[in-house]
Copies of this chain bind each other. A is one copy, B any other.
Amino acid sequence: MSILPRLSFKNQAFKLRESAILDAATAVLSQKGYDLMTMDDVAGAVGISKPSLYKHFKSKEELVGEALIRLLDGALDYVAALDPSHGPMQKLSSLLEWALRVRLEGGLPFLPSTSPHVREMLIRNVKYMLRIMKLNRQLEALVKQAQQDGLLSRDLPTDVILYSYYARTCDPAVEYLQKYSKMASDDIVRHMLKVTFEGFH
């Protein structure tokens, strides 16, 4: 497409490195969380120096924001690719399963942090907020539809179900089952889905 293939090449290499940086940031972030993740960690994991890192992302906040945006894009893509013939419950269950598997494979949880600093930082991030709001609209619609169909409790406010649904994507029980019970990923996912929708009964 471009008249300048050399530039295109450079651009491709640049994008590749950027992607590698985001992979590294994602891995470090999922292990240590925002506050304990250092830019040295990320640079070291990619195998570049810190100033090179800053050529790609002008601050720690921007780097983390981009990593989370990529995660949300994955979720939005997943939702868009869901079988339209499925009902709202199947879709909600399917997305939660996807989010849990992403985490179990070393990725990030949605709602990555309850830390006020991180939350405030993300609220200031327009690109991030656009995606969050888009995802939220779609999920809210699914929950409301499921409630109308009588598949989800109509006694519970939609907000309660929606926020609790988000909370399940970052439920610490997942890590505990993985770490202390040595449970296989498939079993963790299965049990978490059951607990989410059916509770303990």
Question: Which residues of A pack against B, CB within 8 Å?
Answer: 31-33, 35-36, 111, 114-117, 151-153, 155-157, 159-161, 163-167, 170-173, 175-177, 180-181, 183, 191-192, 194-201
**In whole angstroms, what is the CA distance A200 to B168 when docked?**
12
Residue of B nearest to A92 (CB): B200
Q: Are B173 and A164 in contact (CB under 8 A)?
A: yes
8 closest cross-chain pairs (CB), A and B = A199-B199, A35-B35, A163-B173, A198-B199, A163-B176, A167-B173, A160-B191, A164-B173
Interface of A is mostly: helix
Query: Do B159 and A167 touch (CB < 8 A)?
Result: no
Do A164 and B200 touch across chains, with their CB atoms under 8 A apart? yes
Known A31-B116, A35-B35, A36-B115; contact A197-B199, beta-carbon cutoff 8 A = yes
When chains A and B are docked, how far (Å) is the Cα of A7 from the Cα of B112? 50
What distance in Å separates the Cβ of A36 from its nearest Cβ neighbour in chain B?
Answer: 6
> Which of these, B31, B195, B197, contacts A156 with CB under 8 Å?
B195
Q: How far is the CA of A77 from the CA of B19 in the complex (A)?
A: 51
Q: Are B197 and A181 closer than 8 Å at their CB atoms? A: no
Can you name 13 A-B pairs with beta carbons within 8 Å?
Answer: A32-B115, A32-B116, A33-B114, A33-B116, A36-B117, A152-B201, A160-B177, A160-B195, A163-B173, A164-B192, A164-B200, A166-B173, A167-B171
